[in-house]
Structure 1
Amino acid sequence: MSEATPSPAERHGTETVTVPGEHLRLRLDLSLARLFPDHSRGYFQRCIREGRVRLNGRPVQPKKPVMPGNIIEIRWPQKEIYDLVPQEVDFEVLTEDRDVIVINKPPDLVVHPAEGHLDGTLVHGLLHYDYDSFRAMIDATMRPGIVHRLDKDTSGAMVIARNLFARQQLKKAFKERLTEKTYVAIILGEFGAVTGTIETQIGRHPVRRMKMAVVEEGGKYALTKYRVLGTSQGCSLMEIRIFTGRTHQIRVHFSHLHHPIIGDYVYGGKGKHIPIEVPRQMLHAWKLVFPHPRTGTMRQFMAPIPPDFRQALEQLGLPILNGMPTPMGPTIPEGWVPPDDLPSDDEEDKQ
């Protein structure tokens, strides 16, 4: 058992701890967050799901209750993850002030370091862009300024916190659903209705644990609304609004409808039935609305579509996006009553 708590930068290899008496029947992820307070609960949820945590020698779920005397074994990520250095990384700055930077994330850019992506991430680029601000925020999760995420192959608008105050306020805004996130995607197939709603539970795929899926039980409530902007060559250009922040929510929901995003190799958007070749999933975070952390004023930003997305639209004969998204209702649709146990957005929220 460890005798002293090392700093995040010193943690590597495997560490074993004993559950103390005051943690009786706490969830495993919560117990770990209290044992290692410089790491977040969400961080340990990721560790558990990645198979890097064992309870009494066995892999378990984050919600597993622990008992005093239980042995927790955690395999920390590779030490190199914590050796963050500034690196020049290309991204477009849409606007910035002393509290936030709003960017248009290009495709093929990982947001933060993780096993398999130790450098060349957006976080490395932020340190290069403004070293003093972001270095001051480095914590155990190695995500200075990051309050929400986009997948490596998803492009579009992101807001970055430039100080700890802004980070706290923005994370609160995302958790309380005070933000609006509107995407555009090229979807395989044609839709009979111009607008629609997808309302399901999303959880881990029962077999392929690195994927998410629509599940009958044990998932988290997820709500997506969409509007068809154009159809051509068996594909549809969709404007999509998510009202909950579940991991891969858009990709999972449209795959569930048997209309995957073209180029999405994980959720079915590949094969001979795709009319054109695309380099990645055609999903773009088009509009982002959030309360400014300092003033509370709602700010709205548009991220221009990148060249590969525009080229796909041209090849398919779909409308070229130049203007603002059309309104898709308030943050919570009128008349919608959430379930009593509706959980907050995932800390893993990424599309």
Structure 2
Amino acid sequence: MTTWHYQMTITPNSEHIGQSIKAVLIHWLIPQRIRGALRLKQHVRINGLYRPTNYQLQANDQLSLVFDQADFRTGESQYPANNSHALDIIFENDDLVVVNKPAGMKMHPHSPSETDTLLNFLAANFSKRHLYSAGAIAKPYMVHRIDRETSGAVIVAKNPVVVPILNRMLKEKVIQRTYLAWVQGILLKNSGTIDRPIGRDISKPFQRQVNGVQAQHAKTHWFKIHTVFQNTLLRLQLDTGRMHQIRVHLASINHPIVGDSLYGQRLNQQRMMLHAMSLTLPLPFDGPKRIITTSLPSDFPKQLHV
């Protein structure tokens, strides 16, 4: 198996002039173990020459960082390419893509025989376009996931360098995610917060429940948009990212998502009415903050009659 090296050359922002390389790497959310590898391997260069991490950056310095695949806990991406499905890529830069995933598409395979997932389709897309990222062949690396039944915006990295950075942004709520959901019933208030821990449902291994086994803190904010007959359209924001969080939380207040076969009922819908509408994403390495918004898919109606 080929071991890849990744290289990034960055011109630090003016605010970093006079700061040490170490301080800038910390600011960029590069994990301590990777900063240690850069220092020990002398893989830090300024204008082509090695510099210790206590070096203070000067105007017009070019900072180059070389990473080895072995430096990362994220294994090398090896998803078989599948060209059978075109993807809706709504944002892209050198380090990542944001894809508008359709409902019904899995994020990643669970066995070698599965090749009809988002990451398989992205592997084919990157290969077809001969993409490189951080000086190596671009490959898809999962950052976060949305359920198979959920549509909408999902971030996928092109190299392993930015995976822990984006994970840290998610954990610290620097990346904000907004969803739309049709739920059953009429909510009397215009907004609210569901703050209930979520854990495993011991009787149903593929489901989660409030106060389940090994429950973890989970918080969801909801805002009512409008009500049509006996269904309400909500805008939702997550403070945490637990498995099935929105689905479990809404079911726990007796307003399950329309079409949710696990925590509600399917009725006449062909899909679950949950859509990841937008992301607020500060790009790694002091890139600008982007608000990335999807268009509503044709199978997610603005008016719902059940």
Q: Same fold (TM over 0.5)?
A: yes
Aligned to 2:232: 236
Corresponding residue SS for 1:123: helix
What is the identity percentage for the equivalent residue pairs of Structure 1 and Structure 2?
30
* TM-fit CA distance, 1:207: 1.0
State how 1:178-217 maps to structure 2 within 5 Å. 178-215=174-211
* TM-fit CA distance, 1:116: 9.2
Per-residue deviation, residues 192-241 of structure 1 (Å, max 9, x unmatched): 10111101110001211210000177310011110110101200000011
User: Does the 8 Å CA contact 2:96/2:157 hold for their aligned counterparts?
Assistant: yes
Aligned to 1:163: 159
User: Does the 8 Å CA contact 1:90/1:125 hold for their aligned counterparts?
Assistant: yes
User: Does the 8 Å CA contact 1:88/1:124 hold for their aligned counterparts?
Assistant: no
Aligned to 2:246: 250
Kindly tell me the number of residue pairs found equivalent between the two proteins.
Answer: 233
Letter aligned with residue 283 of structure 1: L
Is it true that 1:287 corresponds to 2:275 in the alignment?
Answer: no
Is it true that 1:261 corresponds to 2:257 in the alignment?
Answer: yes
Per-residue deviation, residues 41-74 of structure 1 (Å, max 9, x unmatched): 9xxxxxxxxxxxxxxxxxxxxxxxxxxxxxxxxx
Is it true that 1:314 corresponds to 2:303 in the alignment?
Answer: yes
Is it true that 1:299 corresponds to 2:290 in the alignment?
Answer: yes
User: Does the 8 Å CA contact 1:137/1:145 hold for their aligned counterparts?
Assistant: no
Residue segments in structure 1 that go unaligned for 5+ positions in a row: 1-5, 8-36, 42-81, 139-143, 272-276, 318-351
2:179 and 2:113 map into 1 onto residues whose CA distance is 25
2:125 to 115, 129, 150: 129
User: Does the 8 Å CA contact 2:176/2:281 hold for their aligned counterparts?
Assistant: yes
2:118 and 2:287 map into 1 onto residues whose CA distance is 26
* TM-fit CA distance, 1:259: 0.9
State how 1:38-117 maps to structure 2 within 5 Å. 84-115=80-111
1:204 and 1:122 map into 2 onto residues whose CA distance is 26
Residue segments in structure 2 that go unaligned for 5+ positions in a row: 3-69
1:185 and 1:100 map into 2 onto residues whose CA distance is 26
TM-score, normalised via structure 2 length: 0.69
User: Does the 8 Å CA contact 2:184/2:230 hold for their aligned counterparts?
Assistant: yes
Corresponding residue SS for 1:308: coil
1:208 and 1:183 map into 2 onto residues whose CA distance is 26
User: Does the 8 Å CA contact 2:81/2:121 hold for their aligned counterparts?
Assistant: no
Per-residue deviation, residues 64-107 of structure 1 (Å, max 9, x unmatched): xxxxxxxxxxxxxxxxxx67234332321112121121221111
User: Does the 8 Å CA contact 1:263/1:281 hold for their aligned counterparts?
Assistant: yes
Corresponding residue SS for 1:174: helix
TM-score, normalised via structure 1 length: 0.60
* TM-fit CA distance, 1:278: 1.3
Aligned to 2:5: none
CA shift in 2, pair 1:116/1:198, >3 Å = farther
User: Does the 8 Å CA contact 1:200/1:222 hold for their aligned counterparts?
Assistant: yes
